[in-house]
Structure 1
Amino acid sequence: MMESHHHHPPLQKPKLEDDDDDRTRNNPDGKPQHPRQDDDDDEQEEGLVALIAHRAHEVEHNRNRISHYKSQLEVSERRLKESRVSGSPASDRGDPQPRPPPRPSETGGGVPSPAASRPPPPAASRPQLTILRSTPPPPPPASVKREPESRPSPPQPKAKKKPKRVLEKREHEDLIPSICSSSSPCTIRFQGSTHISSQHKRKLRSLALSPVNDQMFITSALDGVVSLWQLQSKGHSASLLSTTDCLSPKQRRWPEDITWHPDGDSLFAVYSADGGDSQISVLDLNLSGDKKVTFLQEKPHLKGIINSISFMPWSDLCFATGGSDHAVILWNEKDDLWKPKTIHRNQHSSAVMGVAGLQQRKVILSVGADKRIVGYDLLSGRAEFKYQIEYKCMSVLPNPSDFNLFMVQSGQPGKQLQLFDIRLRQTEIHAFGWKQESSESQSALINQAWSPDGLYLSSGSADPRIHIFDIRYKASNPSQSVQAHQKRVFKAVWHRSIPLLTSISSDLNIGLHRIA
């Protein structure tokens, strides 16, 4: 389960920068531990005090690691219990829960609103952002423990069922009729923020929440380090559990984009296709040392930066990547190896900036710097639709509740965010944005996130603000803006079961913004 370590360097990484000198490794002052004969008693006492302080930090760091592994153990035990309980034909769905919501057709067109779906909440009421139907809190751990050596082969079928389990717990909700239905926004009340140092040495790049544990999230930066965090005190603070160097082996490039494996036990990152470098890395959170990060041998992208990576929300486990070579690649796992398949290289005439999968159909959405939005149907092997808009596209984000609704970020000033319905061809159903005070151009490093109920969008901005948009609000300006950081805000994400918004910024801080 948890490996014992007989030396200390890996545990020192969050605080200590260099482990290359055994003489200085155990002394935070960087002084050799072999005292000179002429050292006086004062110097020895100072060294002892420093060593005690270092050991105290080491103890605290190990406590954080134990907390992390306990959380991982609960998830593993819960999966094992579910697999043993679901021994009936229904186990093909991988969900022992007694009330799965009705699942949309895999091959149908649009998704009709279920008869039992709730009507959109009235504009005057504030949505319950603290409740998530799709991801209930984990149950108490089962009595059976998973052994680390049992990972490779037997659990593979279970890993492929896990995304389907998450999919079945998601219920389609017809939100599109509520768009632009209110003349006044429904604002969210915040009750304070906490800012903590990201401990990265260069500008932050990625922020992603764990799909299975709402208290875990990762950050990455241009220093190539991926940091694993755990919330503490109901979102009032966060502790750093581990840091991992994920620079590519040849060019020493940082991860351009990162996504969690749906099981929540590993992270997949994309890099560049230039210089024959590795294009995909896998960071296994259950391992340590040199085996923790591996690079896939396959290199299907031909040139340039790989801009986007996203796991598809389907029963068969796979992920897609989009790159500057105009290509969209789909990766499937076969015999413990991830194999790429080119979906298309000629649907875009410029860099693919974002990829995502539709919930109810085997359709991959891709958006590009060529101003195109493409929906590619894997079953028919052709593009089902292509939209051409007026400005270059930078990302695409399907709504978590209404499976027909998706957002595209573009470079259009004042209307950076556009909403589309997959059932309506080439029709923008709403657009909103903001006026940037510090910059005229829209950066592709600015990202958005949906609230769990699908009614709100949060966006970073070149200004030190988080912009929040209520899709029911008729106006195109933000329903509210939160002063969040000292410099540019890259992204702000909503936790699913905790009333919290977490953000990252070029001020190198992580913001924790508590929702009342």
Structure 2
Amino acid sequence: MDQHEKALLHSVENATTEVNTLRSQLERAEKRLEYAQSELALIRAIKTTNVETMDRGTKRKFDEKQHKDLISLMCKNAYPYPVNFQKSYYISSQHDKKLRSLALCPVNDKLFATSAMDGIVNLWEVISWGEEVNLNSSTNCLTPEQCRWPEDIAWHPDGDRIFSVYNANSLDSQISIMYLSRVGEDPEEMNDINFLEHKPHTKGIINNISFMPWENTCFVTGGSDHVVILWSENGEDDWRPKTLHKNLHAAMVMGVSGMQQKQIVLSVGKDKRIVGYDVCAEREDFTHIIDSRCLSVIPNPCDYNLFMVQAGASEKQLRLFDIRTKQKELHTFGWTQAITLEARTNLINQAWSPNGMYITSGSSYEMIHIFDIRCNGQNPSQSLQAHQKGISKVSWLQSLPLLISMSSDNNIGLHKLV
């Protein structure tokens, strides 16, 4: 073969390689386009008017989101749609002890709060398109008598207050309200804290607090005393507790939440029970017992019939249910759980993506897991190496392509998406 033929053959090989590369890039671009179109369609379908804040103690006005049928899309694909990560950034949580909670503001999710066993609630703001955060304030939320730290926190739906729950073993307060400054208010008066006088829980830790997605402002708490309490707003910062049930669980209640389309309060506990309670009818709607202890429950943000329960079983941590069938498990996701002390003691909180298609989860080791509910597999569709210790919470912003994580290494992670 002469030199000219060799040169032509080399050119053909190079051209073939370039064509294959371009074809691969085109396939990836088509997948990204399909994903972006799906995201855009969902955003347009569920876009709502922001909450209109009124004076405290009055009824909130809001437009209900449009229901989106995602259950029909579940497990239809053999392969997941990838989530493309760009870069991760890490900052110190500015807490002296182990992190307990991370919660996004419901009105502006560039604001988020963290709490820890040092009793401090830090208020953060995401800046620089998700590459940095500012620490806006730090508030001491320890109870006045026993100096108990917040076990869990939740934002008021108006985004101007943060509620904390504590321990019921003493005569100390069980609920506190931290006020945030509003437009026109004196900055020196921001972050005042008020402890409610009512103490309906009888013993143990109050494990979870969750505001209900209903027109009448109320929240629910569940605790180690097996009790689920509904707190209703009755005037300016006057919250009245009402016991929904105290005998439907045989062990501590770990998670509570509310369904959008009907006033059903879901509660899950270490007794392996999933309980649905009809608030209007004032009775149990259903009880379902699974094969493992239940640790949290979260409704899907778009499909109002879909909810997720976190279980303690390795490789079967995430259980998806349809509220209409109640006791029928739609699908299960999970990962191999390391048998370590941290794995047994660290509570991992799952979260939905804003479009309701993905579930994000931390782990007892240094991985963030992502599950695509459209994929028929049970393993994570993606896993991202992050942090130096176990990851207990990963939240997905709607206003920015960003995941925020908290870890036992006492750092907050910012994970940018393409």
Question: TM-score band, normalised by the shorter chain?
Answer: 0.7 to 0.9
Q: What do the CA deviations read for 1:420-475 (whole angstroms, capped 9, x no partner)?
A: 00111311110011112463855562101100000000001001111000001111
One of 380, 384, 403 as aligned partner of 1:478: 380
Alignment CA distance shift 1:323-1:505 (3 Å): same
Paired residue for 1:335?
Answer: 235
Contact 1:258 1:270 in 2 (8 A): yes
Paired residue for 2:11?
Answer: none
Q: Which amino acid aligns with 2:125?
A: Q
Aligned length: 377
Paired residue for 1:389?
Answer: 290
Q: Does 1:188 pair with 2:87?
A: no
Q: Which amino acid aligns with 1:347?
A: L
Q: What does residue range 123-162 of structure 1 map to in structure 2 within 5 Å?
A: 125-127=34-36, 132-133=43-44, 134=46, 155-156=55-56, 159-162=58-61
Distance in 1, Cα, partners of 2:355 & 2:231: 29
One of 485, 490, 495 as aligned partner of 2:397: 495
Distance in 2, Cα, partners of 1:319 & 1:175: 26
TM-score (norm 2): 0.86
Q: What do the CA deviations read for 1:65-116 (whole angstroms, capped 9, x no partner)?
A: xxxxxxxxxxxxxxxxxxxxxxxxxxxxxxxxxxxxxxxxxxxxxxxxxxxx
Paired residue for 2:72?
Answer: 177
TM-score (norm 1): 0.70
Distance in 1, Cα, partners of 2:43 & 2:132: 22
Indicate the SS of the match to 1:214.
Answer: coil
Q: What does residue range 30-429 of structure 1 map to in structure 2 within 5 Å?
A: 125-127=34-36, 132-133=43-44, 134=46, 155-156=55-56, 159-162=58-61, 165=62, 168-286=63-181, 288=188, 292-336=192-236, 337-429=238-330
Paired residue for 1:460?
Answer: 362
> Which shows bigger deviation, 441-450 or 313-322?
441-450
Cα displacement (A) at 1:214 = 2.2
Alignment CA distance shift 1:479-1:442 (3 Å): farther
Contact 1:123 1:184 in 2 (8 A): no
Paired residue for 2:26?
Answer: none
Distance in 2, Cα, partners of 1:123 & 1:428: 31
Paired residue for 2:406?
Answer: 504
Q: What do the CA deviations read for 1:400-437 (whole angstroms, capped 9, x no partner)?
A: 00000000001111110000001113111100111124
Alignment CA distance shift 1:290-1:429 (3 Å): closer
Contact 1:405 1:420 in 2 (8 A): yes
Alignment CA distance shift 1:499-1:351 (3 Å): same
Cα displacement (A) at 1:160 = 2.2
Alignment CA distance shift 1:136-1:386 (3 Å): closer
Indicate the SS of the match to 1:302.
Answer: coil
Indicate the SS of the match to 1:274.
Answer: coil
Indicate the SS of the match to 1:234.
Answer: helix
Contact 1:123 1:472 in 2 (8 A): no
Larger strand fraction of residues = 2
Runs (4+) of structure 1 moved beyond 6 Å? 136-139
Indicate the SS of the match to 1:420.
Answer: strand
Q: Which amino acid aligns with 2:217?
A: L
Distance in 2, Cα, partners of 1:459 & 1:290: 33
Distance in 2, Cα, partners of 1:135 & 1:171: 8
Q: Which amino acid aligns with 1:125?
A: E
Contact 1:377 1:383 in 2 (8 A): yes
Contact 1:230 1:238 in 2 (8 A): yes
Q: Any stretches of 5+ residues in structure 2 without a counterpart?
A: 1-30, 182-186
Q: Any stretches of 5+ residues in structure 1 without a counterpart?
A: 1-121, 140-150
Cα displacement (A) at 1:136 = 6.6
Indicate the SS of the match to 2:307.
Answer: strand
Report the identity percentage.
Answer: 53
Distance in 2, Cα, partners of 1:458 & 1:290: 33
Alignment CA distance shift 1:124-1:138 (3 Å): closer
